[in-house]
Amino acid sequence: MSPGPLWLFFLLLGGSSPSERTLTVTLTAGPELVPPRQNAAAASDGHYLYHLLGQDLDFEEGHASFLEDGHRLDPSGVESAELLPPLDFLSGGSSAIVYDGLLLVQGGNIWLGDGAAIPSWYSPRDILDASDEAVRAAWDLPDKTDDQTWLGADIVATVWVLDLAAFEAGTGSWSAHHATIPRTGASFALLEGGQLAIVSGNYYPGYGNDPLPIAQQCGYSQDGAEVVAFQCSVRSTEVFDPETLTWSVDDRYELRQGRNAGAVSSGDDFALVTGGLAIEGVDQDITWPQEQAEIFVADTDERFRFVEPPIAVGTASGTHLGNTAWVHAERRLVDYLPAGDGTEEDFVWDETTWLLGYDLAEDRWALGPLPGDNLDNTRLIAAQGRLWILGGYARSEEGDAMVDSLIEVEAILEPLVGGGCGGWLR
């Protein structure tokens, strides 16, 4: 579903703080996405966009096609999409980044087609027998369809690497590097001096296993008299050593809160983590929205510190452009209901999707709603000096539909009351 030729929407938020500015957001349909993808990984080298993995949802049939391939897109539409080599094992919840001429993909849920061999780099704790009814019930796994194999705690700490120079030459293939923490819903980030890192996310210890010895907060489930870890929100950050080609946990970059599927916006001298859902307590369904954001600024901060966004958001994606960190918030938390046990029914959400900008120099937020249908499971990304929304699906009263075109995002600051300038927030 495309957003149409042009949407323009103006809204001045009443009662907003003087430290917050209002954005006017314009969305314009760009090149077609074939196939459309939701919950996919995305990256940019400044010119091209890379869109990988994820699923193509058929809302009428209630079926998900797991996608193993990826495309390189030119947002200007001058060149058609170019197919990337397929990745056989990842399906969704992954993240990607272009780093030093390499395309890296990490994390996510792993899916193997029927009859596919289990690769040697799996650990036994990562695999459950999904044909066992007791296991499916314990993990709340759906019955698999004809073309799906569910593996339960199926996340492996592997970073897949594609040499873009070799890809240009037509000989590109993926190679594997191993991180230490298996995650889904995590993000790559660039920290001090361009230090490559993996931030946030969730992992599943494996039924009956103890959590990993890392900084985290875990949700537990009751199994008779026994309480077992179900899934954990990661606070530990792993950093990459380019000399040894290894990943290790660096306590300096430990998050104050665990969060899954939040927005990570980073540059060479900062990282901002916004939104996301935390798992905690004796109930596997507990998903607390994280109302505070966290930021690390090189040469200023000794560790991540809290900053207060103008709205509380759930799932989100982020990028940066110029001196501004950008966040696409898929839902805004409005209120808590009295039950307070952390289930989905405890939260009241404004279903409108929002764009937030955080000006690092001024320490000021700006925000505005996105016009048109509400968008889920997208990726916000920057390329060619512009912002883009890549993939996902649109929610409307007429029904849900896949977003089948790249969307250009223009965000203009409303003039301050009594004068002042508008213009791009850069």
pLDDT score at 335: 76
Cis peptide, bond prior to residue 35, ω within 30 of zero: yes
The two beta strands, 158-163 and 174-178, are: antiparallel
Provide the edge-to-edge strand list for the sheet that holds 174-178.
95-99, 102-106, 158-163, 174-178
Is the CB of residue 21 less than 8 Å from the CB of residue 413?
Answer: yes
CA 337 remoteness from chain centre: 27
Closest-CA residue to 354 (of 13, 6, 5, 30): 13
Q: Taken in order 182, 185, 190, 192, is the CA torsion positive or negative?
A: negative
Closest CA to 119 of 80, 90, 148, 161: 90
Structure tokens at 92: 């969704």
d(CA 279, CA 229): 11
Coil, strand or helix: which one is 213?
Answer: coil
CA distances from 406 to 17, 75, 76, 97 (A): 33, 8, 10, 18
**How confident is the model at residue 320, as a pLDDT?**
94
C-beta of residue 40 within 8 angstroms of C-beta of residue 53: yes
Query: 104, 84 in Cβ contact below 8 A?
Result: no
Fold of 7-424: Neuraminidase (2.120.10)
Contact 148, 110 (CB under 8 A): no
Global pTM reads: 0.83
User: Which two tokens mark 122?
Assistant: 């799996």
Q: Are strands 324-329 and 277-278 parallel, antiparallel or unpaired?
A: unpaired
Q: Between the CA of residue 259 and those of 314, 332, 359, 416, what are the distances in Å?
A: 10, 16, 23, 34
Residue with tokens 């592997």: 158
| Confidence (pLDDT) at 334 | 77
CA atoms within 13 A on the CB side of 109: 17
d(CA 259, CA 261): 7
- Say if residues 198 and 184 touch (Cβ distance below 8 Å): no
- Residue 405's DSSP bridge partners are 32
Return the number of other C-beta atoms located less than 10 Å from residue 172's C-beta. 15
Q: Which residue type is seen at 214?
A: I
Question: Which residues, 6+ apart, have CB-to-CB distance to 398 below 8 Å?
Answer: none
Could you tell me which of 68, 71, 62, 120 has the C-alpha nearest to residue 91?
Answer: 68
End-to-end CA distance of the chain, in Å? 29
Question: Along the 426 residues of the chain, how does pLDDT read in single tens digits?
Answer: 444 333 333 333 333 444 688 999 999 999 899 889 998 999 999 999 999 988 888 887 777 777 888 999 999 886 668 999 988 666 678 899 999 999 999 987 655 444 344 443 333 334 444 455 654 555 444 454 444 433 433 455 788 899 999 999 999 999 888 888 888 889 999 988 888 999 999 887 765 677 888 999 888 877 667 777 778 889 999 999 988 889 999 999 999 999 888 899 998 789 999 998 887 777 655 567 788 999 999 888 999 999 999 998 888 999 999 889 999 998 777 777 665 555 555 677 777 899 999 998 888 999 999 999 889 899 999 999 999 999 999 988 888 899 999 999 999 988 755 444 445 544
CA separation (Å) from 104 to 110, 144, 331?
16, 29, 28
